[in-house]
Amino acid sequence: MQRAKQRLNIVRQHFQHNSIVPPYHASTEDQDELLSSERDGVGRLTLNRPEKLNALSARMAQALLLKLQEWKDSDQVKLVLVQGVEPGRVFCAGADVKRIVDDVNQGDLERALQFFRVGYDTIYHTCALQIPYISIIDGIIMGGGVGISVHAPFRIATENTVLAMPETKIGFFPDVGSGFFLSRMDGQLGLYLGLTGQHLRAADVFYSGAATHYVPSARLAELERRLASLQSPVTHDQVNRTIESCTADLEHIPSFSLGYEIRDAIDRCFKFNSMKEIVAALQQETSKKTVTWAQETLGCLNAMCPMSLTVTLQHIRSATTLSLVQCLRRDFVLTQKFIIRPDMRQGVYQTLAQRRAQESPTQWSPATLDQVDEALTELEFFCTPSPHSLTIATPLDFVQYPYRHYMLPSEAEIKQVVVEASAAAAAASKAPVTMTMTQVGCYGMTTDQAVIYFSRQRNGKQGVRQKVTEVLARKTRIVPGPDGLASLEWIE
Entry pTM? 0.91
pLDDT at 361: 81
Q: Which helix (H) or strand (E) holds 80?
A: strand 79-84
DSSP structural state of residue 286 = -
pLDDT at 27: 37
pLDDT at 360: 74
Nearest to 343 by CA among 317, 318, 319, 361: 361
DSSP structural state of residue 134 = E
Name, in order, each residue with C-beta under 8 angstroms of 94's C-beta and a sequence gap of 6 or more: 14, 55, 56, 142, 143, 144, 145, 146
| pLDDT, one tens digit for every residue, the chain (492 residues) | 444 445 445 444 444 433 323 333 333 344 489 999 999 999 999 999 999 999 999 999 999 999 999 999 899 999 999 999 999 999 999 999 999 999 999 999 999 999 999 999 999 999 999 999 999 999 999 999 999 999 999 999 999 999 999 999 999 999 999 999 999 999 999 999 999 999 999 999 999 999 999 999 999 999 999 999 999 999 999 999 999 999 998 988 999 999 999 999 999 999 999 999 999 999 999 999 999 999 999 999 999 999 999 999 999 999 999 999 999 999 999 999 999 999 999 999 988 665 544 457 889 999 999 999 999 999 999 999 999 999 998 778 999 999 999 999 999 999 999 999 988 877 766 655 443 333 333 457 999 999 999 999 999 999 999 999 999 999 999 988 666 678 999 998
* Distance of alpha carbon 170 from alpha carbon 439, whole angstroms: 60
pLDDT at 485: 76
Domain ranges of the chain: 2-258+304-382, 408-490
Query: Which listed CATH number (3.90.226.10, 3.40.50.980, 3.90.550.10, 3.40.50.2300) goes with 2-258+304-382?
Result: 3.90.226.10
**164 alpha carbon, distance to own chain's centre:** 8
pLDDT at 354: 57
pLDDT at 395: 76
By the 8 A CB rule, do 92 and 148 touch?
Answer: yes
pLDDT at 211: 98
* Distance of alpha carbon 306 from alpha carbon 372, whole angstroms: 7
> Would you list the DSSP string of 149-212?
TTTSSEEEE-TT-EEE--GGGGT----TTHHHHHTTSSTTHHHHHHHH---EETHHHHHHTS-S
Nearest to 140 by CA among 277, 24, 9: 9
Neighbour tally for 365: CB within 10 Å? 13
* Distance of alpha carbon 337 from alpha carbon 340, whole angstroms: 6
DSSP structural state of residue 483 = T
Paired with 83 in beta bridges are 46
pLDDT at 432: 53
The dihedral through the CA atoms of 334, 199, 104, 57 has a sign that is negative
Nearest to 191 by CA among 174, 209, 212: 174
* Distance of alpha carbon 404 from alpha carbon 29, whole angstroms: 37
